[in-house]
C-alpha cells in the first residue's frame, strides 16, 4: 500500500482495486477520544497500571473510527460479491462512505449491498457482547462492552429507512422489486423516509413537551432530522459526495 496526502485526505491503495481515503482529522479525533478515556480511567480505575490505562484508552479512542471502517468494509465485500467495482472508501470522524461508479443492477443486489454494512456492525456487536460475558471484570470486558454498544448503535442507526442511509437503500430495493420501476421506487423510498423523519420529530416534540430531556430525546431528534434532510442532501451531493472517484 502506498500512502500519499491529497486535499486533506491520506490515500492508500487496497489490493482489491479500491482506495481508502482517510481525512487528516481522523487521528486527531481518535487522540482526543483516547485522552478523554485516559482521564476518565485515571479517576475511575486508579489501581490499573499507567501502561494498561494508556493502551486501553488508545484502543477505546480508535473504536468509533474502526467500527465505521468495518461498516464500509462490509459494503465493499458485498459490492464485490454482487458484481460492483467499489472505487473508494472514505473515512472522516463524522461520516464514512463506500463509492462505486455504478448502481446495483437488481433489487436483490441493491438489498445485499445496503444490508452488508449494518450486518458487519451487528455481527461484531454480538461477538463483542459474547466476549464481554466471558471476560473477567477489567479492561478487556470494558472494551468489549464499548465495542458492542458502539456497533449496535451504528448498525441500527444506519437502518433508518431514509435514503441515502442503508435502510433507505433497502426500502428502495423493496419498492423496486414490488413495482418493477426503479425511478418510482426511488420516489417512494424518499417519501417513506420523510414520513419516518416527520414521525420521529413528532415523537421528539412530544418528549420535549412532556419535560423529558436526555438520551432518548437526542436520539429521536437526530434520527428525525437525518431522515428529513438526508434525501435532499444526497440529491445535492450526488453519488460521490467527496469528489474522489477518479482522482489520480
Instruction: Please give the residues from 198 up to 237 whose contact with Zn ion meets the rule CB under 5 A.
Output: none
CA distances 112 to 75, 121, 199, Å, are 9, 15, 27
DSSP string, 178-247: HHS-HHHHHHHHHHHHHHHHHHHHHHHHHHHHTT--SHHHHHHHHHHHHHHHHHHHHHHH-S-TTS-TT-
Shortest reach from residue 85's CB to Zn ion, in Å: 17
DSSP string, 51-111: HHHHHHHHHHHHHHHHHHHHHHHHHHHHHHHTT----EEEE-SS-EEEE-SS--SSHHHHH
Q: What is the CA radius of gyration of the chain?
A: 20
Q: Which stretch binds Zn ion (CB under 5 A): 14-22, 25-33, 55-63, 154-162?
A: 154-162
Shortest reach from residue 166's CB to Zn ion, in Å: 4
By CB under 5 A, residue 166 contacts Zn ion: yes
Considering the complex, state which of residue 56 and residue 158 has its C-beta at the smaller distance from Zn ion: 158
Considering the complex, state which of residue 131 and residue 157 has its C-beta at the smaller distance from Zn ion: 157
Shortest reach from residue 242's CB to Zn ion, in Å: 15
By CB under 5 A, residue 117 contacts Zn ion: yes
Considering the complex, state which of residue 110 and residue 158 has its C-beta at the smaller distance from Zn ion: 158
* Cβ-proximal residue to Zn ion, closest one: 117
Considering the complex, state which of residue 67 and residue 158 has its C-beta at the smaller distance from Zn ion: 158
Q: Which residues bind Zn ion (CB under 5 A)?
A: 117, 158, 166
Amino acid at each position: 500500500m502506498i500512502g500519499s496526502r491529497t486535499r486533506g485526505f491520506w490515500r492508500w491503495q487496497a489490493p482489491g482495486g479500491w482506495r481508502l481515503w482517510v481525512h487528516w482529522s481522523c487521528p486527531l479525533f481518535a487522540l482526543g477520544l483516547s485522552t478523554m478515556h485516559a482521564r476518565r480511567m485515571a479517576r475511575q480505575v486508579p489501581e490499573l497500571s499507567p501502561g494498561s490505562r494508556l493502551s486501553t484508552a488508545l484502543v477505546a479512542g480508535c473504536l468509533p473510527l474502526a467500527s465505521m471502517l468495518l461498516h464500509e468494509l462490509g459494503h465493499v465485500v458485498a459490492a464485490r460479491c454482487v458484481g460492483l467495482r467499489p472505487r473508494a472508501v472514505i473515512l472522516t470522524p463524522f461520516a464514512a462512505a463506500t463509492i462505486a461508479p455504478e448502481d446495483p443492477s437488481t433489487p436483490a443486489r441493491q438489498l445485499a449491498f445496503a444490508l452488508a454494512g449494518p450486518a458487519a456492525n451487528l455481527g461484531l456487536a454480538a461477538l463483542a457482547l459474547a466476549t464481554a460475558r466471558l471476560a473477567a471484570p477489567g479492561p478487556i470486558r470494558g472494551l468489549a462492552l464499548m465495542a458492542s454498544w458502539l456497533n449496535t448503535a451504528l448498525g441500527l442507526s444506519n437502518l433508518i429507512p431514509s435514503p441515502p442511509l442503508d435502510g433507505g437503500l433497502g426500502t428502495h430495493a423493496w419498492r423496486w422489486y414490488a413495482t418493477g420501476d426503479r425511478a418510482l421506487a426511488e420516489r417512494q423510498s424518499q417519501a417513506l423516509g420523510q414520513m419516518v423523519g416527520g414521525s420521529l420529530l413528532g415523537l421528539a416534540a412530544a418528549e420535549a413537551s412532556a419535560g423529558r430531556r436526555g438520551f432518548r430525546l437526542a436520539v429521536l431528534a437526530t434520527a428525525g432530522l437525518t431522515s428529513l434532510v438526508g434525501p435532499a442532501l444526497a440529491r445535492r451531493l450526488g453519488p460521490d459526495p467527496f469528489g474522489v472517484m477518479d482522482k489520480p
